[in-house]
């Protein structure tokens, strides 16, 4: 009878897995979004110069649940100089592209992949 009880225990645990996985991944995505925003802002501090002294502080992260977990990261136009993000990131007639977010994305992708793998492994014993 031990084999059957182990099977039922496993089935019960797997039935709870989607909720546990979702909760763990939400935490991971939120933390990694904040880390990505911090990396992007650090890059922007190096490249924005005196004319963009407030721009790095406009870069933030917002996490929400919609049709999955969504994380929006970047300059927040409601913050001082946040509306200058497109010009800083992609360039304009006045300056070349800085690509601060693009450079931060490379590290963020690897970090998110590792953290998500760990979270799923933790949620599904």
| pLDDT tens readout for residues 72-82 | 999 999 999 99
Give the pLDDT band of residue 33 (cuts 50, 70, 90): very high
Assess whether pLDDT exceeds 90 at residue 104. yes
Report the percent of the chain where pLDDT is more than 70: 86
Quote the pLDDT of residue 56.
97
CA end-to-end distance (rounded Å), the chain: 22
Q: 86-89: long-range contacts at Cβ-Cβ below 8 A with a sequence spacing of 24 or more?
A: 88/44, 88/47, 88/48, 88/52, 88/55
Assess whether pLDDT exceeds 60 at residue 2. no
Lookup: tokens for 32: 């990694």
- Inter-residue contact 40 to 100 (CB < 8 Å): yes
Region 111-120: mean pLDDT is 93
């Amino acid at each position: 009878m031990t084999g059957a009880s182990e099977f039922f225990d496993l089935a019960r645990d797997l039935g709870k897995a989607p909720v546990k996985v979702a909760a763990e991944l939400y935490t991971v995505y939120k933390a990694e979004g904040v880390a990505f925003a911090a990396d992007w802002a650090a890059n922007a501090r190096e490249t924005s110069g005196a004319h963009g002294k407030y721009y790095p502080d406009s870069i933030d992260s917002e996490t929400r649940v919609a049709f999955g977990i969504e994380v929006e990261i970047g300059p927040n136009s409601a913050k001082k100089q946040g509306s200058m993000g497109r010009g800083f990131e992609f360039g304009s007639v006045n300056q070349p592209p800085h690509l601060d977010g693009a450079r931060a994305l490379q590290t963020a992708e690897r970090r998110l992949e590792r953290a998500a793998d760990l979270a799923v492994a933790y949620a599904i014993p």
